[in-house]
Amino acid sequence: MVRIENLDLDRKPAIVAVIDDDPVENAKAANWLGADIIELRLDLLEFTDLEETKKIINRIKDNTRLPCIATNRLHADGGKWTGSEESRISSLTDILPFVEGVDIELGTESELRSRVVEAAKASGVTVIISSHDFDKTPSVEDMKNMLDRAHTLGADIAKLAVMANSRQDVLDLLQITADMEKPICTIAMGEAGKHSRIVAPCYGSLLTYGVISKAIAPGQIKIHELRSALEILF
C-alpha cells in the first residue's frame, strides 16, 4: 500500500497542485479547485529561513488540511535553485519534520540523494525519486531502467516525466506505466502528451500534476479540469 499521509494511492490517484508563489493563498485556491496534495517548489518560493517555512506550511495545513510534498528541483531537472548543492539538500532534510512527502532527483549526486532518502525514511516521509527529460522520450528500455533504479535507491514512488514528440512516445510511456509492478508516477510533457496527465492514472500512475492558472511544466492542465476528468474515470 502506498500512502502520502492519509491518502491511499492504490485506491485512487491523487492530483498534486504545484505551488510556485504566494504559497498560502495558492494552496487555498488549489484545495478549492480539487487538489489532493500540495507540492512546494522550494527553488521557486525562496523561503528566507526554516522558521518562516514552518509557519507557512502550518498555515497551509490550517487552511487546507492537505499533505505537502517538498521539492527543491535540480537545475538539470528544470529547477531554479541559486544556492549550492549542499544547501539545496539541506533545505530538503530540514523541512522533513513538517511535510508528508519529499521529491529528490535520480540525477542528484549519490551521497546527497541517499542523505535525503535515509532522513525521509527515518521521519516516515514518503520518498519520490524523479527523473525528467525535457527534450525527448527515451527508449522503453531506458525508461524502465530509470524507474527500476529509482526503486532500488529507495523510492516509495518512482516518477518519470518525459517530453513527448509524437503519439508513439506517449504510447511507449503508457506501456511502461502499465507494465511496472511497483508504485510509479509517469507524465508525457508537451502538447503531444498533454492527455497523459488524465490517461496515465488509468494505466497505473499514482499521481498527476496540475496548476492553478499558469503552467510550470509543458502541457500541464489546470487542477479543476483534471478533477472533472478523473471523477469520470475513477
Which member of 12, 80, 159, 222 is catalytic? 159
Set of cell numbers at residue 120: 525521509
Residue 153 backbone phi and psi in degrees, to 5: -85, 5
Q: How many beta carbons lie within 10 A of that of residue 38, not counting itself?
A: 26
Concerning whether 159 is annotated as a catalytic residue, the answer is yes
Q: Which amino acid is at 202?
A: C
Concerning whether 121 is annotated as a catalytic residue, the answer is no
- How far is it, in rounded angstroms, from Cα 151 to Cα 115? 16
Which member of 28, 54, 132, 224 is catalytic? 132
Set of cell numbers at residue 96: 522533513
The 3-state DSSP class for residue 36 equals: coil
- How far is it, in rounded angstroms, from Cα 3 to Cα 99? 13
Q: Are strands 7-8 and 14-19 parallel, antiparallel or unpaired?
A: unpaired
Nearest C-alpha neighbor of 73 from the set 216, 189, 183, 207: 216
Q: Grid cell 517548489 — which residue?
A: 41
Q: Grid cell 525519486 — which residue?
A: 129
Sheet holding 68-71, edge to edge: 184-189, 157-163, 126-133, 101-105, 68-71, 37-41, 14-19, 207-211, 221-222
Report the catalytic residues: 132, 159
